[in-house]
Each structure stands twice: as C-alpha cells, then as structure tokens.
Structure 1
C-alpha cells in the first residue's frame, strides 16, 4: 500500500477501525468474525508501513484506534444521555473523549513501529505484535483499565481460540497482530516465490495441529458430580424505573420474591442489584423470609444486592443462602466501573451532571472464596469484572480449591439491548476457554445464559424478556489451564515482558544496523581519501 499522506490514509484507518469494531460483534447477528479482525488490523499494519515518518504513523494508528473504540462502546452514550440525563452533545463528547484518550496507546505503538521497524518481514511482524500487545495491556491496566473490545475476543470461534488456555485473550491478540503484519508485508514477488505463503501455511498447520492435540488431550473426563440444575432469573426491569420507589423497586421486589420462593432448581440466581435496596431498606422480614426458605431442603440461592451503610461504605455484592450455613455467603465486587461505581479523582464535577444512583462503592478483596454447593465451587463475578481474566485467575492459585463453575451476575440494561449484550456474552465465552470452566450468567436484560467449558452457549434466554431460564451446568475440576496457573501467580506480567522483549530486540537491531551503516560510510570516506 502506497498511501503517503493527506486525507486518504486517515479515511482508510477509520474504515479499518470500524471494521475492527464490527469483527467483535457483527451488527445483526452479534457474532464475532475472526477473519475480519486480522484483515482490518492488516490494513493498519500496511498504513504504518507506508507512513513517511513516525509521527504520521502515530496519527494513522490514532485514527484507527479512535474509530475502533468509538464503534465498539458507542452504547455508553445510552447510559450517559438516556439514563444519566447528560445532554446529548456532552454525551457524544464524553464517549468520543474516552475513545480518543484510549486510542493514544495505539498511536504511541504506531509511532514506535515506524521509528524502529526492521527491514526483515519476520522482525517487523514481531515488533508490530509486541507493540500491539503492550497497547492492549496498557488499556487493560492503566487508570483501573477499560479493556472492553480487545481484539483477541473476535477469535473466540476461530482457530486461534486454541491458544486461550495457554496465553489468554491478549496472547491471542499478539498472534493475530503478528499474522496481520505478515499479510501487510506480502508483495507480488513474495507471491511468485511462495516464501511468505509457505510461512503462513506452516503457521496455519501448526495451529491446526495444536488445536487437534489440545482437543484430544482435554477429552470429556467423567464428571465428579451430577449436573447442577439452575433457575437463572431475568427481571427485565426498565433501567429508568429500576431504582424508582413507585415503579421499578416494587416490581423487582415482588417478581424476584415470587421466583425465589417458588423456583424449582438446585441453585437459583438473581442478577446484579436484583434487589435494588439495601437490606435495611427492604420491607420488614423480606430478606429473612428468603433466608428461611433456603435454610433447609436441597436448594440454594445467590442474589445480587447492594450492602453497607453511610458509616462503613457501600458495596455491590452477592448474598448466598444454603442449608447448613450459619451465615449468608457474601461476595463483594472488586473491580469497579469508573463513574458508575466509583468517582475518579478530580471528576466529581462530571458525576454531578449525571442522574445515576449508587455511584461510589467500596472494593472487595481479590480472590474471594467460592460458594460451595452440591460439590461445586461457584465463583461469582459482577458485571464487567469478567473482562479481567487475570483477576479471576487469583482464585486458581491452589488447584484443589479452584472454582469449578464461574458465575457472572450483570445488569447492562444501562446500555440498551443491542451489541453491548452480544459483546459481553463473547467476553464470558473467552473466559470459559481460558480457564476450562463453564460460565453461568444471570442478568437483568440479557444475555442470561449457560456457557460450557468449551465456550459453547448451551442454554440462553431471549433478551429483554422477563422470565427464568431453567437449565443445568456441569462443573469442571481437576487440572487447571496453563493460563490459569501463570496468571494466578504473575497476573499479566509475562505478556508485558514478551511485548517489551519484542521492542527491545528491534531497538538494538536498529541500533546495530545504524552503527554498521556509519562504519561503512566512514570506511568509504577513508577509501576515497586514500
């Protein structure tokens, strides 16, 4: 590609960025398209390769990132404007501002690539992959992290999914970026000689062989317990009514109370803030009646509810009730949503513009105990906590007590009933592949679903409907995945090191090449003078 300057490279970068967004959840079907993710990234790689200067390469990567991220989480506008009461122009500016800020990570990566790119095809692919990996990790980590829509999620159904239990979603993104740069560096001469195509064929065969080996090695071991029967409750309480005492609150208390009293399943799960009041604000005896209902028999319940008070602070929590427990099980959300659940420093003025309740929570500890029921160790996470696989991994440090089932309780009704639901389901599917554990999801508006340990959605309730999903889940125990093992110990540090090594090698190679060039020029000058 020979796009050198002007508006055309920026337009191409924006188009490729929007294609990257579409690859995560194709509009209409909501399904990820892994091939589109690599192709759109290859367009960016070609634009960087053709950039005349590092600064222009950084600008192209910035346009790509801004379009990609805006096209991925545009639905934040719904929460800010429709439910938060922020004027529409300010809502657009807020979403665009977040995308612009996060795109700066990719702009820096593009600038460094053009400044350090080696001549060799393999070296260029490794450098691009390393820089892409570092940018993705920065978006996951800095300022508490907002990694929604990382490129690796597009591969949950593709051949690279085999890498999930080994290196996780960001390792998949690294390999996808490597392949994208290889495609971008293809030339007609390469096609005629077949060298580049041979390399791609070897990589494809290697991945295919790895997939076959991994699939056979996992097998279907005999389960230690019978499947756990579930009743997953989806109240579909309108978000603009959910916390209103005259509409959403009494509706939620009545409907969830009825379901919890009569559901016929071993485990009943109500989603995030299903009970939208603090325990002391509930009608007298309401929570006590639920506790009595599950104090005997063969049923247990997990319920999303806010906890705390003005003096001790508030938490976004899950309470669990089961026979034989002297006190309710409790899980407190650890990774909070900026602005929605905590107010970043210097930004209280922004939250005061919004009409969103419960805006400042406390954090629960990392690696909280699982809820043990019928031989399963069930590990809750709340809403977008399931984006952070390295934090979920904290519970896998000791294999003997590692979760056998993951459970996500969500309410993303703040963001409408469209692509945000599809994207979140894909995120949960990736977690099941990384940990080789099923994921159960109970949500307010969708996607309420059961995902098996192979990432397959086995049961699903229609979105934006009120009802209970009766299903079953087979927990998985035994050995933990390589990703779970190393992420439990070092979080994402090994991937940071991998990305840094790729950049440092390119830096030293370029430095050595420059020194050789200066030495050759000096020698040539001496020869001429002699």
Structure 2
C-alpha cells in the first residue's frame, strides 16, 4: 500500500490493498471467523504499511537526532506497531458485526476503516500520516470528494471501492460453482456498477469550482536554502545561514517572499537587529512582505516556533499551535527518552488556536508550520477568512526519505479541501506552489538551493468541507456501524 502514496503515487494500489484486506477478513460464508483473528490480519497489514511508509522516523531519531541506532530502531518499530492497533481495532469490530449481504459488509468495512483513521488522527495528539485518502490526490478520480468531505471522505470512498473490487473478484471466482438460477446473486455486474458510480461521481466533482479568485494576483518567491540539518544549528554556520537567505531574497524580488521554518537558526532576540532591518528594507522596496521562520523566547521557559513577517504590512507573528511530540515538546514521563537524543529546541510552548490570518501583500494568509498541515480540521479554522495557505517546513530532519514527497502530497490535499492555493517553503524540499485543484504548479528539486517564483491568486468562498469539517463523514460512519449493530442483534439467535 505504501506505493499508493508519493513519491510513486500509484493510487489504484490502495484499492487493491484494502480490497485484499477485506477479502482476508472473510466473506459472509466465513461465520466462524473470530474478532481476534481479524485483528491480527489487520494489525499485520498496518505494521507493514507503517514500518515501510514512515521508516523516516528512524532517520530523524538516529541520523540527525543522535540517538543510539538500536534504541532509535526499537522506538520506530514500537511506534509503528502502536499505529497498527487502529486498523486491528476496526477489523475486530468488522468481524464481530458483519452479517450476510455483500453491500452491508462493504459499507461496514469502509466505515470502520475510516473511523479508525479518524481516531488515529486525534488520539494522543494524533498521527494522521498515511491516511488512505492522501493517496488519492490528482489524477485519482476520488480527489473530487476532497472539497466535499475532506480526506476522511476520500478514505471512505477508497475503502469502499476496494471492498467492491474484492466482491467482484469473489463473484467471478464463484460463478462456475453456482446454479444458473442464482445468476443475479453471483453476477459481478452489481458491485461493478457501484464502483463505476463512485469513480464517475468523483471525476465529475473535480470539475466543480467551490471558490473564486479574489483581488489581483501577486508575485511570490519561496526560498529553499538547503542548509544541512547537521550543520544548521552550529554557531559557526549561523552567519552563513543568514547570508544565504538574504542573498536569495535579494536576488529574487517578489511581493510576498517566504522563508522556511526556523530559517534563522536562533532565537529572535539573538538575530542581529540590522539583519532584520535589511530584510524589512528588501520587502518594503517591493511594497510587499517577507515571512520567515524563527524561534521566539518570551519570559522564562516559554519558547514558540513562530513565523514572523516584516515589510509594508508591518510586523506580524504566528505561533505554531500543534506541536510534535518528542520533536517539539516532551510528553510527561519521557524526559529520559529525549535525553538520548540531541534535538535542539525540543520543548516549545503551543500558540493560541484562535490566531487570525496574517495580512500580507494584500492577501489574508493562513500560516501553518511543518507538521500542522497534516490536520485538515485545524487548517480550516482560519477559513473562509484566509485567501491563501502557507506552509513553512524543515523536513531536513528526515533526509532523503519518503517524508518530503509524502508531505507535499498532504499539502495537495489541504489545497483541495479548502479551495485555496498552498505555498510551501522548505529548507531542503519539497518547495512548491500547489493550485486549488491539488495539482502542483511548480516545485524545486530537493536538496538544491534556490527560489521558486510565480504568480498566485487568493481565493474566497467556502467548500462544504470548510463549513462542516469531518463531522459529516464521522457521523455517516457511526450511523453505518449503528445499523450494523442493529442488524446483528436482529439476526443473532
């Protein structure tokens, strides 16, 4: 299933993988299947998905975090096994609740898979990475459901397509042994029609424009300094980092210039005032604004991972709200674990969830920092007021792994859900401009130094997902599970 996600993005593999899981959990003839057996099957599926798909966690802990290799490997394996509990729980409930009837079973499977992903997305601060819906960015026809139902709605449709594909195969394999009078029961045409309707509807929805351009297009420059993670925080490299970003900003003029997360590798009060003045002068010279990532210290032991703007619109600031456990804050009882790693600035304070968009270059900009754009419902809190989405990241922590490409794919889903363009400025990649339809308009090669320039438009209006968030999908999933419980009680002796 990992190949369904970026960088390969073979989105149809997700349907085959989920269909295979549905088949392994048993057909309506497998009445003796026990929930524990189903949980073990799905846990194995989940373990394979996460161990292969988020193996970059080991890179961040060992290669760049300095943790002993054996401890980092063990921590990565335990984390991936913990994530596999969610599909295991869904499978156990599926086996317990499923009754006769192929359509009921397919709907129940899709509902439980989606609810498990929703639970994984918020439990203990959440880890929604590799949610099945992320594999369905364009050109997948299921991408059309994103503005309507969000990534969880896309997951639901993806799991349903997989289950129906499994049913098609089962019927074909069973046709030879079935009597002619039962042709309708065994005919593959019915689930094929269901698949066709789901895919065709998604394809047609991709042509719907939920938002409209607002204001004049603005020029942007997204800077990628390509500062090696192992060098970034060394004091002797501080001046070079400042010089790199100043030169990139000077040589690539734009109305809105965006630097990555912690582009200035120090606390704000440690950055020379004349350097900040020089950045402000560059921005004002173009009647625009410059946004950069920097850590901000306030009082005793209050540190914020922030984005600060200078320029024609005055100084504005956004503080990261959703912090990464072990990377940006230490969960209670895990100080011993963090003592084995050497991760700078790993104990931040969360910003206020009620921060307004920043007014930059005539647009209302919703800023999110690194991992925050993984959480769709948190991104839409700034909408519909915001006209542009901006993500600043430093994925150098994960080296040349799957993480940068997967992160860009997640950003594409946020653009689809919100009907807003997404601008990504990263330290080492993937720096990109993503259009409202989820397509990448332009991207810099990873591990190169440069600036991505282009013209972008703000958008106004609200998609259905912006208005309702995840609750329609969660409500539908719970309703399907409740119906399955009711039907199970009716059919049990």
Bin for the TM-score computed over the shorter chain: over 0.9
Q: What corresponds to 1:499 in structure 2?
A: 477
- More moved, 453-462 vs 362-371: 362-371
Aligned partners of 1:198, 1:452: CA distance in 2, in Å? 37
Q: Are 2:89 and 1:111 aligned?
A: no
Q: Paired residue for 2:316, among 318, 329, 333? A: 329
Shift of 1:40: 0.6
Equivalence map 1:108-257=2 (5 Å): 108-157=89-138, 158-185=140-167, 186-188=170-172, 189=174, 193=184, 195-205=187-197, 207-209=199-201, 211-212=203-204, 214-218=205-209, 223-247=213-237, 249-257=238-246
Aligned partners of 2:80, 2:407: CA distance in 1, in Å? 18
Q: Are 2:11 and 1:40 aligned?
A: no
Aligned partners of 1:255, 1:45: CA distance in 2, in Å? 52
Contact kept? 1:417, 1:446, Cα under 8 Å: no
Contact kept? 1:452, 1:474, Cα under 8 Å: no
What SS class does the counterpart of residue 86 from structure 1 fall into?
coil
* Alpha-carbon displacement from aligned partner over 1:478-529 (angstroms, at most 9, x marks no partner): x210001112xxxx33333222222221111111101xx3xxxxxxxxxxxx
Equivalence map 1:38-437=2 (5 Å): 38-49=15-26, 52-157=33-138, 158-185=140-167, 186-188=170-172, 189=174, 193=184, 195-205=187-197, 207-209=199-201, 211-212=203-204, 214-218=205-209, 223-247=213-237, 249-295=238-284, 297-309=286-298, 311=300, 313-325=302-314, 328-396=315-383, 399=384, 402-437=385-420
Aligned partners of 2:193, 2:301: CA distance in 1, in Å? 60
Aligned partners of 1:122, 1:202: CA distance in 2, in Å? 10
Give RMSD over aligned pairs.
Answer: 2.0
* Alpha-carbon displacement from aligned partner over 1:274-306 (angstroms, at most 9, x marks no partner): 001112212353223323443465121001111
Taking structure 1 as reference, are residues 291 and 204 closer, same or farther at Cα in structure 2, changes over 3 Å only?
same
Aligned partners of 2:35, 2:2: CA distance in 1, in Å? 25
Equivalence map 1:26-37=2 (5 Å): 30-37=7-14
> What TM-score does the superposition give when structure 2 sets the normalisation length?
0.92
Shift of 1:345: 1.4
* Alpha-carbon displacement from aligned partner over 1:393-444 (angstroms, at most 9, x marks no partner): 1112xx4xx2111111000000012321110111011111111111011000
Q: What corresponds to 1:443 in structure 2?
A: 426
* Alpha-carbon displacement from aligned partner over 1:142-175 (angstroms, at most 9, x marks no partner): 0000111111111112111110001011111111
- The number of equivalent residue pairs is 478
What SS class does the counterpart of residue 105 from structure 1 fall into?
helix
Aligned partners of 2:190, 2:114: CA distance in 1, in Å? 25
**Structure with the greater alpha carbon radius of gyration:** 1
Unpaired stretches in structure 2, ≥5 consecutive residues: 177-182
Contact kept? 2:421, 2:458, Cα under 8 Å: yes
Aligned partners of 1:224, 1:112: CA distance in 2, in Å? 47
Aligned partners of 1:435, 1:47: CA distance in 2, in Å? 36
Q: What corresponds to 1:15 in structure 2?
A: none
Aligned partners of 1:109, 1:219: CA distance in 2, in Å? 33
What SS class does the counterpart of residue 55 from structure 2 fall into?
coil
Taking structure 1 as reference, are residues 368 and 310 closer, same or farther at Cα in structure 2, changes over 3 Å only?
closer
Unpaired stretches in structure 1, ≥5 consecutive residues: 1-19, 518-530
- More moved, 284-293 vs 159-168: 284-293
Shift of 1:118: 1.1
Shift of 1:106: 1.0
What SS class does the counterpart of residue 44 from structure 2 fall into?
helix
What SS class does the counterpart of residue 475 from structure 1 fall into?
strand
Greater RCO structure (CA 8 Å; 6+ sep): 2
Shift of 1:219: 8.7
Contact kept? 1:417, 1:445, Cα under 8 Å: no
